[in-house]
Amino acid sequence: MAGISRYVLLFVSSTTLLTAGGVAWWLGLDGIALVTWSLGTTLGLAVAVVWTGRAVRRRQPNVDLIALLALIGALLVGEPFAGAMITVMLASGRLLEARAAERARRDLSLLAERAPRTARRRTAGGVVEVAVDEIAVTDRLLVGAGEIVPVDGRLLSSGLLDESALTGEPMPVERAASH
């Protein structure tokens, strides 16, 4: 979450500078608008240099290089508004990416937490509870109503399965035996 808060701070800062420059420009304070947008551009430039440097060290080129070149170009041709806008775009992109990654991590963690740790194995003497790691390919397992299927396998009899965690489909699915 700390990574996201950094991107939120960058997004809020860059958006505030862009907006403040716009308000100053609208009020006829062109000098203040240019300074404010230049600060926004400089903020984006500093961040893009750091991000591009990290990407180069990892040998993973990314779009930060394009943003870096665009920000330098905006400063060189005297277009601080364009640079401030690029900074907002860069910040919003990183924020969206960080939120998506955080959501994926959370969803994967929840899915992993749901995974059964034990299964019920049918033996000649009855049903025995065993750790999932102890299940062999030839084992016959008993899965009760509402339980999560602990391992991949073939159904020996038809069943109604809740596949929502895997497919997103909310309704249980009837599966036929696969002898």
Q: What's the pLDDT band for 42 if we cut at 50, 70, 90?
A: very high
Residue 176 three-state SS:
coil
Angle at which helix 80-114 crosses helix 64-76, to 10 degrees, equals 160
Instruction: Specify the pLDDT at position 56.
Output: 86
* Whether domain 115-175 has CATH 2.70.150.10: yes
Residue in 98, 69, 62, 110 with CA at minimum distance from that of residue 86: 69
Q: Copy the structure tokens of residue 94.
A: 């990183």
pLDDT over 70 (residue 176): yes
Distances (CA, A) of 102 to 32, 88, 111, 143: 38, 21, 14, 33
Q: Where are the beta strands (DSSP E) in the chain?
A: 118-123, 126-131, 140-142, 159-161, 173-175
pLDDT at 177: 81
Q: Report whether 32 contacts 105 (CB < 8 A).
A: no
Predicted pLDDT at 145: 78
Can you tell me the distance from the alpha carbon of 42 to that of 107, in angstroms, rounded to the nearest whole number? 37
Amino acid at 14: S
Predicted confidence at residue 91, as pLDDT, reads: 93
**Where is mean pLDDT largest: 62-71, 77-86, 96-105?**
77-86
CA 6, 11, 14, 16 torsion: positive or negative? negative
Indicate the DSSP class of residue 126. Answer: E
pLDDT at 29: 96
pLDDT digits (tens, 9 = 90+) for 72-92: 999 999 999 999 999 999 999
Residue 115 has a pLDDT of 82
* Residues of the chain above pLDDT 70, percent: 97
As a whole number of angstroms, the distance between CA 80 and CA 171 comes to: 54
And the tokens for 133?
């790691």
Q: Residue 179: what pLDDT?
A: 67
Integer Cα distance of 64 and 51 in angstroms:
7
Q: How far apart are CA 55 and CA 7, in angstroms?
A: 17
Q: What is the mean pLDDT of the chain?
A: 88
pLDDT band for position 161 (cuts 50, 70, 90): confident
Q: Domain boundaries in the chain?
A: 2-113, 115-175
